């Protein structure tokens, strides 16, 4: 049987340590092709390039792997791979990462790593975003490799429900071994932003966003709890953002007749 075709992308850029680790793991599972940003694109979310040029060129950074770097966002990279680089070939799996830093809880909305995976899911391809909760450029990925391989094998063999991408987060390397995998929900948490007012050398004002991550969730079934307790968190995410539970409430509670009368 032919090897599965695996598309690899990320948001930290094609030269990051995390994507090199991911490529090495994926090479053991199938035929790998890489399309990734030519520079860091963290926090881009599901942005796409519309008003600017998109550039794409081959890269020889990986051994025995066809790779391209793009001037675009992570989502641009997946789109270029699907519709231009691979043309008529459909990948069997899209993997994004391994991100340098956490993508738990609300961060999934801002994450370029996860947006690349979600774009794969939109195209009907089983997709996974991998992140390590360590922001260091020289982060230690040695404890996550086997889990990346195991989770990817499970997806290749069993699939993922349509419209779903997996958000996988790993704790940083600690003295104790990882305890295992927890299938979780997204924690109820958010970033509490603070905008620092600064001035450039020409005296012009600018702002630098800072802040702290605040976790309001006391449950033990969410991704933040899993990471804090040295488990790998796996959260199934969907791109259908309809709040289905709110439809009946709005239909029943809003006074539509008064609204019509005032039109």
Per-domain boundaries in the chain: 5-187+218-261
CB 93 within 8 A of CB 127: yes
Beta-bridge partner residues of 167? 129, 235
| Helices and strands in the chain, H and E counts | 8, 11
Residue 60, token pair as written in the block: 């020889």
Neighbours of 235 (CB within 10 A): 24
pLDDT at 114: 98
CB 86 within 8 A of CB 35: no
- Residues of the chain with pLDDT below 50 are none
pLDDT at 88: 80
| pTM of the shown model | 0.93
Q: Residues comprising the binding site for a divalent metal cation?
A: 11-12, 42, 99
Q: Residues comprising the binding site?
A: 11-12, 42, 99
pLDDT at 60: 94
CATH topology of domain 5-187+218-261: Stationary-phase Survival Protein Sure Homolog; Chain: A, (3.40.1210)
- Terminal C-alpha separation, the chain: 64
Neighbours of 132 (CB within 10 A): 28
Longest CA pairwise span in the chain (Å): 69
Rounded to whole angstroms, how far apart are CA atoms 236 and 161? 9
Neighbours of 182 (CB within 10 A): 18
Rounded to whole angstroms, how far apart are CA atoms 81 and 70? 10
Picking from 59, 84, 67, 57, the residue whose alpha carbon sits closest to that of residue 27 is: 67
Beta 164-170 vs 31-37: how paired, if at all?
unpaired
Angle at 163 between CA 214 and CA 183, to 5 degrees: 50
Q: 8: which residues sit within 8 A by CB, 6+ positions away?
A: 19, 22, 23, 26, 32, 33, 34, 35, 36, 95, 96
Residue 96, token pair as written in the block: 């994004």
pLDDT at 224: 97
Write out pLDDT tens, residues 3-46.
Answer: 999 999 999 999 999 999 999 999 999 999 999 999 999 889 99
Residue-wise DSSP of 144-212: THHHHHHHHHHHHHH---TTEEEEEEEPPP-SSPP--EEE-B--SEEEEEEEEEEE-TTS-EEEEEEEE
């Amino acid at each position: 049987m032919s090897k599965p075709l695996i598309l690899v992308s990320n948001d930290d850029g094609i030269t990051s340590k995390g994507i090199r680790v991911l490529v090495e793991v994926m090479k053991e599972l199938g035929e790998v092709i890489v399309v990734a940003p030519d520079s860091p694109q963290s926090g881009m979310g599901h942005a796409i390039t519309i008003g600017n040029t998109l550039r794409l060129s081959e890269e020889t950074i990986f051994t025995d792997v066809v790779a391209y770097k793009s001037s675009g966002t992570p989502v641009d990279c997946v789109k270029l791979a699907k519709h231009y680089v691979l043309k008529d070939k459909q990948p069997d799996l899209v993997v994004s990462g391994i991100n340098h830093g956490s993508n738990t809880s609300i961060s999934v909305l801002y994450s370029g790593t996860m947006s690349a995976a979600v774009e794969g899911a939109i195209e009907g391809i089983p997709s996974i975003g991998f992140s390590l909760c360590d922001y260091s450029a020289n982060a230690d990925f040695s404890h996550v490799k086997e889990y990346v391989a195991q989770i990817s094998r499970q997806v290749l063999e069993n699939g993922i429900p349509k419209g779903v991408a997996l958000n996988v987060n790993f704790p940083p390397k600690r003295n104790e071994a990882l305890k295992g995998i927890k299938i979780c929900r997204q924690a109820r948490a958010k970033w509490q932003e603070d905008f620092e007012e600064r001035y450039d050398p020409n005296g012009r004002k600018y702002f630098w966003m800072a802040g702290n991550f605040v976790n309001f969730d006391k449950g033990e079934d969410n991704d933040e709890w899993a990471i804090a307790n040295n488990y790998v968190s796996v959260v199934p995410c969907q791109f259908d953002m309809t709040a289905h539970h709110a439809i009946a409430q709005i239909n029943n509670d809003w006074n539509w007749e008064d609204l019509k009368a005032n039109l």
